Amino acid sequence: MRKKRIMVIGPSRCGKTTLVNALNDYDGPLRRTPDLIYGKNTIDVPGAYIENAWMYKHIIAAAQDAAYVLIVVDQSNCTEIYSPGFAKSFRCPVIGVITKCDLMLENKEKCVRQLKNIGILEPYFYISFKVGTGIDALKKYLFEKGKE
């Protein structure tokens, strides 16, 4: 049986790779790549996969190896990129993550609306690597929930 990982989906430059590195406890250099990257605990989906709807089928296929799907929205640039109801494409739980939550506070409600439109239910996780908030709560939710 394959190891179930956490799939992380989001547009380019939203903080996906930084989030993936934190979930894998990796602090090496960031690498940009056009390919799916299977990490210790994660599947890092390049932004191009979500920015081009014809690639959705590849995301959905790769999600068969996922225990969770994290859909990332960037509060500093919360452009609507996801299709309405997109979260319903997945059989595993889908979790909403708002990155860069310390920037452009006026976009918070817009990001929440976007996650709801995608079909993701609360709780949402607000993360800022710059300030150092939110990642511990997300890790606890992902890694300790299954042990209960």
Q: pLDDT, tens digit, for every residue of 79-103?
A: 899 999 999 999 999 999 999 999 9
pLDDT along the chain (148 residues), means of 10: 85 93 89 86 94 92 95 94 94 97 96 97 96 95 73
Query: 42-44 and 37-38: which strand pairing?
Result: antiparallel
Which pLDDT tens digit goes with each residue over 37-49?
Answer: 999 999 999 999 9
Q: Is residue 31 exposed (0-12), middle (13-18) or buried (19+ Cβ within 10 Å)?
A: exposed
| Residue whose pair of structure tokens reads 């992902």 in the numeric block | 142
Residues spanned by the domain of 77: 5-147
- Specify the pLDDT at position 146: 52
Helix, strand, coil shares, percent, the chain, to 5? 40, 20, 40
What's the pTM value of the predicted model, to 2 decimals?
Answer: 0.93
* Residue 36 belongs to domain with CATH number: 3.40.50.300
| Residue whose pair of structure tokens reads 């190891």 in the numeric block | 3
Domain total in the chain: 1
